[in-house]
């Protein structure tokens, strides 16, 4: 039983390589039987029209700390070995990767559940804001009730 999983958070402008992130998550691993990962992308359409690009704003300091808090809570709920979040900020385009969550554990149940929990909490708690730019100009994305109810399940 591992009580001190490795928790890492990166908020960055640059793109990321999911294969490299997964290798880093498993660095030195012996006991891992499962890794679950999630990658989020910028969609080309938001249901209101085309998205040309997106600006992602955050609250430096609070954003990293709030994600770390979410990872610590996940580590209390499930027997995790390592978990990592990478989230991009700045200008992004449709098809770009926005967020990556990786979780390793001995068995798949904890990895699946923790990965989903981390994304649900990140969506409703971490201070990021998306502004979409399309044919009609700029538009701040509204928070979705569906995301709040998904987070409330945990």
Residues in contact with other proteins, shown as a per-residue x/- string from 65 to 84 under the rule CB under 8 A = xx------------------
Q: Which window, 21-29, 70-78, 108-116, 140-148, contacts other proteins (CB under 8 A)?
A: 140-148
The residue (of 7 and 126) whose beta carbon lies closer to other proteins is 126
Report the Cα–Cα distance between both ends of the chain, in Å, rounded: 23
**What residues contact 26, with CB distance under 8 A and at least 6 apart?**
32, 35, 82, 104
- The DSSP result for 50-114, as a single string, is B--EEEEEE-TTHHHHHHHHHHHHHHHHS-EEEEEEEEE-EEE-TT-EEEEEEEEESSHHHHHHH
Stretch that binds other proteins, among 45-53, 70-78, 103-111, 135-143 (CB under 8 A): 135-143
**Binder to other proteins among 77, 93, 140, 149 (CB under 8 A)?**
140
Q: Kindly identify the residues of this chain, within the stretch 16-55, that bind other proteins according to CB under 8 A.
A: 40
Choose which of 59, 79, 94, 134 interacts with other proteins (CB under 8 A): 59
| H or E element, residue 138 | strand 137-140
CB of 150 to other proteins, least distance (A): 11
Provide, rounded to whole angstroms, the least separation between the CB of residue 114 and other proteins.
15
CA 137 to chain CA centroid, Å, is 27
In this complex, which beta carbon is closest to other proteins, that of residue 22 or of residue 46? 46
| Cβ closest to other proteins, residue 81 vs residue 100 | 100
Q: Is 44 helix (H, G, I), strand (E, B) or coil?
A: coil
Q: Which tokens hold the place of 60?
A: 């430096």
Q: How many residues does the chain have?
A: 154
**Which of these segments, 18-26, 72-80, 105-113, 127-135, binds other proteins (CB under 8 A)?**
127-135
């Amino acid at each position: 039983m591992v009580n001190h999983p490795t928790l890492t958070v990166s908020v960055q402008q640059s793109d990321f390589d999911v294969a490299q992130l997964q290798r880093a998550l498993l660095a030195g691993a012996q006991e891992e039987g499962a890794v679950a990962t999630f990658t989020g992308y910028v969609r080309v359409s938001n249901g209101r029209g085309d998205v040309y690009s997106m600006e992602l704003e955050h609250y430096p300091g609070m954003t990293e700390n709030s994600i770390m808090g979410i990872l610590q809570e996940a580590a209390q709920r499930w027997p995790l070995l390592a978990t990592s979040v990478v989230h991009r900020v700045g200008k992004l385009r449709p098809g770009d990767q926005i967020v990556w969550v990786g979780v390793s554990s001995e068995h798949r149940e904890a990895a699946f559940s923790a990965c989903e929990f981390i994304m649900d909490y990140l969506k409703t708690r971490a201070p990021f804001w998306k502004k979409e730019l399309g044919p009609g100009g700029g538009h701040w994305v509204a928070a979705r009730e569906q995301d709040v109810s998904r987070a409330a399940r945990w």
